[in-house]
Amino acid sequence: MIGLAFFTLSFIAFLLYFLVIPTINYFRDPKGLRKFPQLSIWSGISDIPYLRASQRGFRSHTVLEAHKNHPVLRIGPNSLSYRDVRAIKDIYGHGTTCIKDQFYVEVGGPHAHLADVIDKSEHARKRKVLSNAYAVKNLEEWEYKVSDMTDRLIKAFDGFCTSPLKEGALPDNSDLTVEYCMWSNLFTIAAIANIGLSEDIRFLENGDDLITSEKMDGVTKKYTSESWSYDWFKTLARIRKVVSSSYRKMWRLSDDWSGVVYNRATTRMKRYEDGEKLDDFFSVLMNDKNGNPYNLEWGEIVSEISIMMNAGSDTTAIAANATLYLLLKNPNCLQKLRDGVASVLDPDETVAAYDKVRHLPYLRACIDETLRLYPPVSMNLPRRTPPEGATILDDFIAGDTSVSISAYVVHRNPAVFPEPETYRPEHWLGEAGKELQPYFVAFSAGARGCIGRNISYLKQTVLLASLVNRFEFALPSPDWKPTIRETTNLNSGPMPLKIWRRDASVACA
């Protein structure tokens, strides 16, 4: 009897909390959000439609479709999504009164890093420390590390080369010797580990990403770092760990990635304490340019190393993979790029020197057009209006409302980008390209824009120029498309390629 009463009360409480009270609030409309079109008829009452779109694997495309006739969309009881490019300045611009949403606390760890810290003064302190590490001057001095990793990747690819593909023919399955998505991940992780921690993890020589993960008690194990994942909301994560075996696996891998970061950080700290003078991100994180120590807490150091290794590898690999895919689907663009690269490189130059290719307008345009179509961080990046409210698109939005823009959505606004699904690097050339820059948010915008964009461009520029200058690639078929699984990032599935040397006089391995 007591059990039945408890069940009944629990069920009533459940209905009140998840249905009755939200429905009452929807009709009361204290924030005036009911006037906006909705992602689903239930979006004014519950976040479930948005979470369902996430679970299906391509949330941003669902939001894009719902946005087609609506510049503003209600995606949750307290959440608005914007498609109008003018909202970028209001939400993310340097003068915005909006702050990062509570979402960043939910997905963050015990020590906030630069990307998820909410407090503006704390963000300013962190950015002051880290701006020197990410300064263009430092990155250019670390170019040799990117060049070294590019050379290693090229040597690996030389070993996978096949005979040239005959015109009009399709590659045999046995000729699809390179899984480019995997190799681009190996490249970016190896490069950022060297730039960040002066560590040679030899992913490109080994052809795998086996690396040591360490718990805080010192226990170590091997872990494949390519499989890391992000948790969504902590409450949902706890539930799904109980009811979903696949999610339990994802959570374990997420914990393992934290162990990888901790192991690499402790290894590098030992070298620092032993007096090794190394030229890397870690050194700049420990001391200012005059050699004075910052005396950061150990947890903060590990947190900043984590975001450097994670964002500095995963997002760049996604972009590198998508750029090569789009160029292979658009051979005229690929040939134009090759002509530009060949015009500045010596005939025997294996790795493209950054100084030679960095100012090639079409090379940068190819990368930026990829980032327009396939921004690695594709999700709506939420901000919260201040308690007194804020004006967005000349419309007052009540305080403590979540407002956001998805780069995937806003980059497909036909008013700004005609034929938005077409790959057109010319978008970014000349004066017209400069006029579009305020609407390019692949690295977010304003004071909270990605501090690591220069290092991403360095890696992408050297890698892309070197590969297209040396190799020919072929997709499995002309109509082949990658699978896409969106989490926080716009992740692509495997991309098998046939590869051969452009120099016909060089025999395949």
414 φ/ψ angles, rounded to the nearest 5 degrees: -65, -20
Burial (0-12, 13-18, 19+ Cβ within 10 Å), 304:
buried
CA distance 425 to 363: 9
Query: Which residues are bridge partners to 81 per DSSP?
Result: 73, 404
* Measured CA distances, 186 to 80, 227, 228, 348 (Å): 37, 12, 13, 26
The reply, when asked if residue 450 is annotated as ligand binding, is: yes
Q: 30 in helix, strand or coil? A: coil
Q: How many residues are given for the chain? A: 509
What would the two tokens of residue 410 be? 């806003």
CA distance 234 to 256: 17
Pairing of strands 395-397, 390-392: antiparallel
In contact, 469 and 341? CB cutoff 8 Å: yes
CA distance 470 to 376: 26
In contact, 143 and 137? CB cutoff 8 Å: no
Which residues contact residue 134 at a Cβ distance below 8 angstroms, ignoring those fewer than 6 apart? 451, 452, 454, 455
- One DSSP character per residue, 245-283 reads HHHHHHHHHHHHHHHHHHHHHHHHHHHHHTT----SHHH
- One DSSP character per residue, 353-391 reads PHHHHTT-HHHHHHHHHHHHHS-SB-SB--EE--TT-EE
Binding-site positions read: 450
Binding-site positions for heme read: 450
